[in-house]
Amino acid sequence: MVRRAKYICCTRCDWNEALNCWHCETQLIWGGDHDCEDEEEFAMVTNLSCPTCDSLVLVYYPTQEEDEDVPAYE
């Protein structure tokens, strides 16, 4: 089963749309999300791949400062 990355969303902006490959414009396939245990600067990395040209895209989500107004990750 192939799961396509329908939407990638940043909580800091209003951008919310499908991601396409920079090289061939094919919609990227979501490969999974992983915790960044060795990186203090980043909390999570998402990997996306292109089924047409085999490009790999890694999206790093920054670690947020502890703040009472920001909900905790679950």
CATH 2.20.25 fits 17-62, yes or no: yes
Residue 70 exposure: Cα atoms within 13 Å on the Cβ side = 9
- pTM (whole model) above 0.75: no
- Determine the Cα–Cα distance for residues 14 and 23; give it in Å rounded to an integer: 25
The partner residues of 45 in beta bridges, in order of sequence, read 34, 60
Q: What is the pLDDT of residues 12-67, one digit of tens each?
A: 444 456 789 999 999 999 999 999 888 889 899 999 999 999 999 998 989 876 65
Domain chopping of the chain, boundaries: 17-62
pLDDT band for 1, please (50, 70, 90 cuts): very low
List CB contacts of 6: < 8 A, sequence separation 6 or more: 18
